[in-house]
Structure 1
Amino acid sequence: MENLDALHSATDLGILPSVLLLICTAIVVVVTFKSLRLSPVLGYLVAGGLIGDHGFKIVTSNQVSFLAECGVVFLLFAIGLELSFERLKTMRKYVFGLGSLQVILTSLAVGLISLYFLKDNSTAFIIGCGLALSSTAIVLQVLEENQHQNTQLGRISLSILIQQDFIVVPLLVIVPLLSQDSKSIAYAVMISFSKAIVSLLVIFICGRLFLRPIFRLISSDSVQVNNEIFIAATLLICLSAAWTTEALGLSMALGAFIAGILVAETEFRLPAEDSIYPFKGLLLGLFFMSVGMQINIIEMYKELGSILFFSFTLIFIKALIIAGLCRLFGFSRGVAISTGMLLSQGGEFAFILFNLAMSNGVISHKTGRILLLVVTCSMALTPLLAMLGNRLADFFDNKKMKNLDITAHNTADLKNHVVIAGFGEVGAMAAKMMKFQNLNYIVVDIDRDVVQAGSDQGVPIFKGDVSQLETLQALSLERASVVIITIRNMVTVKRALSSISANFPNVNIVIRSPNLKNANALYKAGAHVIIPEHYENGLQLGGAALKHLGISDYEVARIKGQFRTNLYSINKENYEEYILEKN
């Protein structure tokens, strides 16, 4: 018994130094890469290579494999949180059109090349499909680092990645069946798809029935809970959905993705996103490190020529196909090239597919190891490829000198978006609110320096005069939902109101005004909502004073709402009579 306790003690003591060295290595390497203005993703890969199976062997990839997979699960859950069924509906052209064509054409091209070299149909099929997938984890990380999530590049990339994640499910089913006869394959695929439909229906129905009641229960004032309970509930929902699909032989990530979409349909999306954010970041770091742990420098050196040849061939083929499809769908040359370069690597799901294929004898272990090194090499090159793609995009689209044609190209994929006119302090705050809610928006300003400063911050901003019809057409206003005019110059505001209401009558217009004295004229010009700055400042100042005097938050909010109702809900036609009567 004493020996057993000693063994446990030694084992525990052996884990702690490994964990400490894992964290220490990650911190040192990532901080070093950031100071060199290189992507932290590269830092994680290098850190994994140093401490992993083929480095100092401090930690093995098997020890972190489950946590790394959880990182991908939380990533897909976070992607689902940023989407809703309504947003998926607006993106369907690019998810199911552009994304599907990319997977099909890339699989065919890579598969035919593999068939030429390996002379085996099953192997060529697996390689083609596996290498058609890009790295969701790395691409989204690079987009976030470069603040491109809300740009056209970010929207197109997300659409293609979503379809690739959908494709993973049937691939995980088909790969183990390729060694069987055709009748068995057809039967097994039918059974697996039936399981997929059943599991998704279960997740969907349970989500619709129980998500809101659960979140409302733990968030109600009558239940004394802390933030840890809400985090636990979010983790329970995410991991339960992932376990459901995993138990049925499907991808854990698929269940988490659907759960994220269902949570996004509720009013608790933002708290849920905050709950899983620390786990997603930490576990994704472990995922990147686990990828780096699989890099065998000696084996890579022996096969360096083949690995480099196949890596750059893969990058070239995928970049060419994706860029060509983007051009076919009407995107500008710069956006097409940057999207192609960003998505040209292999993906994390390729590791799962190729390992599954090797364990089932579909591909040889030698071929599989080379493929894994090719995927790893291409993933490691992603930050550099993204940087090169951005520079090529700047060259082709001349982003420092934006014109209406470039603006029109960059809004071609938008629908039900928000247009913000003016990027001063008010416009910048409105843009932050749209970004916080993951809504598609675009900013227009007439000042070239303001446009350049906003563009450097990753804001989708373009130069133009919102009172000109040509600018409004370039902003795709016919498909927009709301226009927010933050400009102070009331002459320009009235011209913009007249142009928008005359040419785009279905768009709602929100404007700022010093007060409500000219509200009738502004309403007649086309405004739907007027925000009077002086009144709002007074309400905020009065509300702050009431709070200090002991008035509850609820009562302060009620008083503000009552004043707003009395001021803003006046019949537009009778507004002038109301002012005269009050005076």
Structure 2
Amino acid sequence: MEGASITFSFFLIFSGAAVFASVALYTRQPLIIAYIALGACIGPYGLSLVPDLKLLSDIGHIGIIFLLFLLGLDMQPRALFATLRNATVVMVISSTLFLLAGYALALPFLPTRLDALVVGAAMMFSSTIIGIKLLPTTVLHHRHTGELMVGMLLLQDLLAIVVLMLLMGGDGGGSAAALSLLSLPLLGAGAWVAVRFVLLPLIARFDRFHEYIFLVAIGWCLGVAEVAQLLGLSEEIGAFIAGVTIATSPIAQYIAGSLRPLRDFFLILFFFSVGARFDLGQLDRILLPALLLSALVLALKPVTYRYLLGGMSESRSLAWDLGFRLGQASEFSLLIAYIAFDRALISQDASLLIQATTILTLLASSYIVVLNYPTPIAISDRLRRD
């Protein structure tokens, strides 16, 4: 993609996003839906005004990396470990149930058991972006609800790494996944040492120069993300560790505030690419199973989380709140669909089924949360919180 085409693509995406967002706000719709709809309209399967999505999709992925970095900036390490312990049992039981339910529903509609198994695996995860983006900042950073959601999403991210390693690693996928997870504490320890003896002294010396702090923060986030990928972990996990290791610094909140507009810039590209990569012309082939699977996910996940969290002595209102906020498929589900199909492990119908279910549940879940629970982008003034 040449420079001129990148500029033109950015013009179309952000000008179009402004138009679609205006319509969404006038009609009281969540903004995320506007970005996905824009991708479907002007992407390669719509008007084809933005035909090449590879670079834009990669750029949009940076938004997820920054999202996890900002999340880490507000998580104290001691509180994080306590939260992970509490969330482990819920994650294991719920993921097993979602895997089996997705497999059982998809099996009659797909040619092989492996197709159905991958579909079931893709349904185990909830969207980090939807969960965190729609949670009020004060709840996310300072309350038990936010801590519990973060713990569950992080454990799901680790499980997603295992699934992706198995898909990409062939016969050696299990051992590769195990080695990757063993490298997690090594990455955390190395990042802590670098922050303690290099990063914080530099920040303390030059904290008067705001541009310098901004550059150091971006370099640290992306650097640890790249190291994590080299170790077989995900870039998202690396970015989160980068944030946690400097969360105790007084400069953490300044970094978080300065990076939020940059995060939103890249997340718009991410949601645009989600809508643009789905071939609407093929939807009729998997429409019925996609609707059934979407209904299953939207109904089963909130109920499952409600009773599992209730069993941990969490309040009923908190359990329902988290259940609906986590009641969708994930951006990891899309990645599983792309990788498994590219490696000829699943059929095109299975890949399309995962993509369609993920998009449908992202859309429906956004509506449910925005219309019924406090969010930063709520349509009602009564529910708008930040």
* Pairwise TM-score range, normalised by the shorter structure: 0.7 to 0.9
In the alignment, what sits opposite 1:190? Answer: 175
In the alignment, what sits opposite 2:313? Answer: 330
Equivalent residue runs for 1:393-408 within 5 Å: none
**SS in structure 2 of the partner of residue 298 of structure 1:** helix
Alignment partner of 1:29 is 2:20: yes
In the alignment, what sits opposite 1:532? Answer: none
Alignment partner of 1:232 is 2:215: yes
2:40–2:275 Cα contact (<8 Å) kept: yes
In the alignment, what sits opposite 1:15? Answer: 6
In the alignment, what sits opposite 1:100? Answer: 92
Distance 1:54 1:320, change over 3 A: same
Segments of structure 2 that go 5 or more residues without pairing to the other structure are 375-380
In the alignment, what sits opposite 1:341? Answer: 324
In the alignment, what sits opposite 1:61? Answer: 53
Matching residue's letter, 2:152: I
1:347 to partner: Cα distance: 0.4
1:42–1:380 Cα contact (<8 Å) kept: yes
Alignment partner of 1:141 is 2:133: yes
Structure 1 range deviating more: 259-268 or 131-140: 259-268
Q: CA RMSD in A?
A: 2.8
In the alignment, what sits opposite 2:35? Answer: 44
1:357–1:363 Cα contact (<8 Å) kept: yes
Alignment partner of 1:201 is 2:186: yes
Q: Separation in 2 of the partners of 1:118 and 1:56?
A: 30
Matching residue's letter, 2:273: S
Distance 1:311 1:192, change over 3 A: closer
Q: Separation in 1 of the partners of 2:75 and 2:143?
A: 16
In the alignment, what sits opposite 1:351? Answer: 334
Q: Separation in 1 of the partners of 2:321 and 2:192?
A: 37
Equivalent residue runs for 1:509-524 within 5 Å: none
In the alignment, what sits opposite 2:378? Answer: none
Residue by residue over 1:344-378, the C-alpha shift from the partner in whole angstroms, topping out at 9 and shown as x without a partner, is: 21100111112111122221122111221111111
In the alignment, what sits opposite 1:291? Answer: 274
Distance 1:85 1:75, change over 3 A: same
In the alignment, what sits opposite 2:297? Answer: 314
Q: Separation in 2 of the partners of 1:230 and 1:34?
A: 35
Equivalent residue runs for 1:445-484 within 5 Å: 458=385
Normalising by structure 1, report the TM-score: 0.59
1:323–1:340 Cα contact (<8 Å) kept: yes
Distance 1:295 1:117, change over 3 A: closer
2:103–2:120 Cα contact (<8 Å) kept: yes
2:41–2:276 Cα contact (<8 Å) kept: yes
1:79–1:260 Cα contact (<8 Å) kept: yes
Distance 1:219 1:50, change over 3 A: farther
Matching residue's letter, 1:63: L
1:278 to partner: Cα distance: 2.1
**SS in structure 2 of the partner of residue 264 of structure 1:** coil
Normalising by structure 2, report the TM-score: 0.87
2:38–2:272 Cα contact (<8 Å) kept: yes
In the alignment, what sits opposite 2:377? Answer: none
Distance 1:383 1:191, change over 3 A: closer
Alignment partner of 1:217 is 2:217: no
Distance 1:336 1:225, change over 3 A: closer
Q: Separation in 1 of the partners of 2:208 and 2:146?
A: 37
1:250 to partner: Cα distance: 2.7
In the alignment, what sits opposite 1:157? Answer: 149
Matching residue's letter, 1:157: M
Structure 1 range deviating more: 209-218 or 26-35: 209-218
Q: Separation in 2 of the partners of 1:14 and 1:375?
A: 29
Q: Separation in 2 of the partners of 1:306 and 1:112?
A: 11
Matching residue's letter, 1:133: F
Q: Separation in 2 of the partners of 1:327 and 1:198?
A: 34
**SS in structure 2 of the partner of residue 162 of structure 1:** helix
Distance 1:211 1:122, change over 3 A: farther
**SS in structure 2 of the partner of residue 381 of structure 1:** helix
1:208–1:262 Cα contact (<8 Å) kept: no
1:70 to partner: Cα distance: 0.9
1:204–1:262 Cα contact (<8 Å) kept: no
1:172–1:250 Cα contact (<8 Å) kept: no
Matching residue's letter, 2:336: L
Alignment partner of 1:81 is 2:81: no
Matching residue's letter, 1:84: Q
Matching residue's letter, 1:367: A
**SS in structure 1 of the partner of residue 19 of structure 2:** helix
Equivalent residue runs for 1:532-571 within 5 Å: none
Q: Separation in 1 of the partners of 2:177 and 2:330?
A: 23
In the alignment, what sits opposite 1:510? Answer: none
Q: Separation in 2 of the partners of 1:334 and 1:372?
A: 31
**SS in structure 2 of the partner of residue 21 of structure 1:** helix
**SS in structure 2 of the partner of residue 77 of structure 1:** helix
Residue by residue over 1:312-349, the C-alpha shift from the partner in whole angstroms, topping out at 9 and shown as x without a partner, is: 12222222222221222233444333332221211001
Q: Separation in 1 of the partners of 2:315 and 2:26?
A: 33
Q: Separation in 1 of the partners of 2:339 and 2:69?
A: 24
Higher share of residues assigned helix: 2
In the alignment, what sits opposite 1:523? Answer: none
In the alignment, what sits opposite 1:517? Answer: none
Matching residue's letter, 2:198: P
2:99–2:120 Cα contact (<8 Å) kept: yes
Distance 1:164 1:273, change over 3 A: same
Structure 1 range deviating more: 289-298 or 20-29: 289-298
Distance 1:362 1:23, change over 3 A: same
Q: Separation in 2 of the partners of 1:195 and 1:325?
A: 29
Q: Separation in 2 of the partners of 1:26 and 1:287?
A: 12
In the alignment, what sits opposite 1:573? Answer: none
Q: Separation in 1 of the partners of 2:55 and 2:261?
A: 21
Q: Separation in 2 of the partners of 1:86 and 1:249?
A: 25
Q: Separation in 2 of the partners of 1:224 and 1:334?
A: 43
1:306 to partner: Cα distance: 2.9
Distance 1:273 1:326, change over 3 A: same
In the alignment, what sits opposite 2:260? Answer: 277
**SS in structure 2 of the partner of residue 361 of structure 1:** coil
1:172–1:251 Cα contact (<8 Å) kept: no
Q: Separation in 2 of the partners of 1:13 and 1:191?
A: 41
1:51 to partner: Cα distance: 1.9
1:131–1:346 Cα contact (<8 Å) kept: yes
Equivalent residue runs for 1:342-381 within 5 Å: 342-381=325-364
Q: Number of paired residues?
A: 378
Distance 1:343 1:225, change over 3 A: same
